[in-house]
Every structure is written in C-alpha cells, then in structure tokens.
C-alpha cells in the first residue's frame, strides 16, 4: 500500500494578516520613538545655540563693565547720558528706568557703548558691532534693556543687563521655537568720571 504524503507549504491568510498587524504595530512604535528622539535632539540643539550666544554676549558685557576704568553713564536716547543712578528710598522701591545705552571707558583709553536697538531686526551691540550671531539667533523685540541703580551718589553703580534671544528659524515646529531670557547685574569696580 502506498501512502500519500501531504505537505503543507504556506501560510493561511489569517496567519499572514496577524504577522502584518504585528509588524505595523512594531513599526509604528519604533517610528514614534525615533521621531520623539529626533524632536528632542532638535530642541536641545536649538536651546544650546541660543544659550551659547546669550552667555557669550552677557559675559562680554559684564566683564567690560566690571573692569572699566570709568562709568560714563546710561541713556535712553544715546545723546544725553547720566551717571546719577540713585534710586529713591520710597516704599515700595520704584522700578528702575530701562535704558538702551551704557557707556564706559577702559584702561586703554577706548570708549565703549553698549546698545539695545529696536531696529529691524533688533540688536544688542558694542560700538555698532553685534554681540550675537545674527545668522543663528535674534533678539526678541522689546526685550533688551539696561538698568542702573545705586543707593547714594558715593556708591558704585550696579548695571542690570536684560535681553531675550530666540532661535532664528522658519520652522513652525514647537521644538524649534526656542526663547531664552538672560539677565545679570554687574557692579563697576572702579568709580571715576
């Protein structure tokens, strides 16, 4: 007697559909993880770029003001400068005046003016040279100012520096829309006028 051997070579339609469903689910999860990682990396890179520019600018201004030979004043218009930064002792303490210009003299005899201009685009500059990489970041409009405070005329002025930078991008994705505020206060070491 001869036996007939039957060999099943193939998969049923149900088995194929089950494998396809599992592969699609795995692909979707892996794709989601990949894109979330990519978005996080983009946000991290954007924040790093903005922070590096802001930190460099604020460090440069702070160092120059701290080590200046003399404080030549602050101004709202770049024409009339005042060295009197006394704040009244009224309660509550009044908000310091936001200035757009700070002028100092260094020990080598050079005069440096730091400016916050609201031109298009707004800029933070030192003697008209931008302090930020304008190809990567830009100043948020209306965010840049300086303050000057001192208790009495005999005290050393303290200069406040305030600005906000944002990533220069045309992307509409939220991870690329980064804004970082920067602020510090610097006391002038040498007080001559």
Locate 155 and state its tokens: 């005290």
Mean pLDDT of 34-59: 87
Please give the pLDDT value at position 173.
Answer: 76
Q: 34-46, pLDDT tens digit by residue?
A: 887 877 788 888 8
Please give the pLDDT value at position 1.
Answer: 63
Mean pLDDT of 103-109: 89
Q: pTM of this prediction?
A: 0.77
Alpha-carbon distance 96 to 92, whole Å? 12
Please give the pLDDT value at position 74.
Answer: 92
Alpha-carbon distance 191 to 107, whole Å? 12
What distance, in Å, lies between the first and last C-alpha atoms of the chain?
121
Q: 161-170, pLDDT tens digit by residue?
A: 999 999 887 7
Question: Beta strands 70-75 and 101-105: pairing type?
Answer: antiparallel
Closest CA to 124 of 176, 185, 59, 188: 59
Please give the pLDDT value at position 192.
Answer: 53
Mean pLDDT of 2-25: 83
Residue 64's pLDDT band (cuts 50, 70, 90): very high
Question: Given a cut of 90, is residue 122 above it in pLDDT?
Answer: no
Please give the pLDDT value at position 36.
Answer: 79
């Amino acid at each position: 007697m001869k036996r007939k051997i039957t060999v099943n070579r193939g998969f049923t339609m149900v088995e194929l559909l089950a494998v396809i469903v599992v592969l699609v689910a795995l692909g979707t999860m892996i794709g989601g993880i990949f894109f979330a990682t990519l978005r996080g990396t983009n946000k991290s890179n954007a924040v790093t770029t903005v922070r590096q520019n802001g930190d460099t600018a604020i460090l440069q201004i702070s160092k120059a003001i701290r080590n200046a030979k003399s404080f030549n004043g602050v101004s709202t218009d770049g024409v009339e400068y005042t060295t009197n930064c006394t704040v009244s002792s009224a309660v509550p303490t009044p908000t310091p005046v936001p200035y757009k210009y700070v002028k100092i003299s260094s020990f080598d005899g050079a005069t440096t003016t730091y400016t916050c201009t609201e031109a298009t685009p707004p800029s933070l500059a030192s003697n008209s040279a931008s302090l930020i990489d304008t190809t990567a970041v830009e100043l948020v409009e209306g965010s840049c100012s300086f303050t000057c405070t001192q208790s009495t005329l005999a005290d050393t002025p303290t200069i406040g520096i305030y600005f906000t930078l944002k990533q220069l991008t045309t992307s509409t994705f939220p991870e690329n829309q980064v804004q970082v505020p920067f602020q510090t206060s610097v006391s002038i070491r040498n007080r001559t006028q």
